[in-house]
Amino acid sequence: MDGGAYKTQGADTCVYIPQVDCNGRRSTLRKAPAGTAFVSRITRDHHELEIQKSVVKALKKLEGEGHGITKFFNLADSSCIPNFKPDDKREACTIKALQGDERNLINLITPVQNETLLTSIRAKSKPDALIKSSLKGVMLAMARLNAIGITHSDSHFGNLGWQGDQLVIFDWGR
């Protein structure tokens, strides 16, 4: 398979693993480590792209001040207009707004993450001590961002996910 297979969807986004190809130029938001696997989060929300750019800029500023909190945020590595292929199974996405003209869509190419915090709590797949310490880390990282005027307006256990044993916040669309 060359493109992405439909995996799941949120309120405004459909996720494809691996990522969907780009139609033309790809715009870099930040550089993920070599060997990172990616998904495509397809949306029509241009506002989310601008929010993610602002978060990346703020994280770089905080990093320069000695606050290494980037690891707590799963943000797009790059973005482009998607180029769906027939084997991407685009029609599996039931969000009507994403079924229109591809030129109005955004392909947010984002590092893969595993289960959400909510799922891991229900499945008891992570030790309680790891969950508690991870939540504390995410909350402190968000407090740093909040202090410079950036908030995540849809924070809940379904928008926190695991990358290995690292808890990250994702889904900046709202």
What digits encode the pLDDT tens for the residues 3-44?
A: 677 888 877 889 999 899 999 899 999 988 889 999 999 999
Q: What is the pLDDT of residues 100-134, one digit of tens each?
A: 788 889 999 999 999 999 999 999 999 999 999 99
pLDDT, residue 6, reads 80
| 3-class SS letters over 51-78 | HHHHHHHHHHHHHHCCCCCHHHECCCCE
Average pLDDT over residues 44-61: 93
Residue-wise pLDDT for 74-96, tens only, equals 999 999 999 988 888 888 888 88
DSSP state for residue 71 in the 8-state scheme: G
**Minimal CA–CA distance to 160: which of 122, 130, 119, 108?**
119
The pTM of the full predicted model, rounded to 2 decimals, is 0.89
Q: What's the pLDDT tens digit per position in 145-163? A: 999 999 888 888 888 999 9
